[in-house]
Amino acid sequence: AQVHIFDTGHFALEDKLPEIAPLIADFLDARG
């Protein structure tokens, strides 16, 4: 399991999209 901790609030994707989007894409690619 991978755990990523971001200093953000309720709207994490709005606050940290450039950092989070590649992690989501990598996760989906690894399982696709």
pLDDT on residue 27: 96
Q: Tell me the pLDDT band of 30, cut-offs 50, 70 and 90.
A: very high
CB 19 within 8 A of CB 6: yes
d(CA 10, CA 7): 10
DSSP output for 1-32: ------S--S-HHHHHHHHHHHHHHHHHHHT-
pLDDT on residue 12: 96
> Which residues constitute the domain of residue 21?
1-32
Q: Tell me the pLDDT band of 13, cut-offs 50, 70 and 90.
A: very high
pLDDT on residue 1: 87
- Number of structural domains found in the chain: 1
Predicted TM-score (pTM) of this structure:
0.77
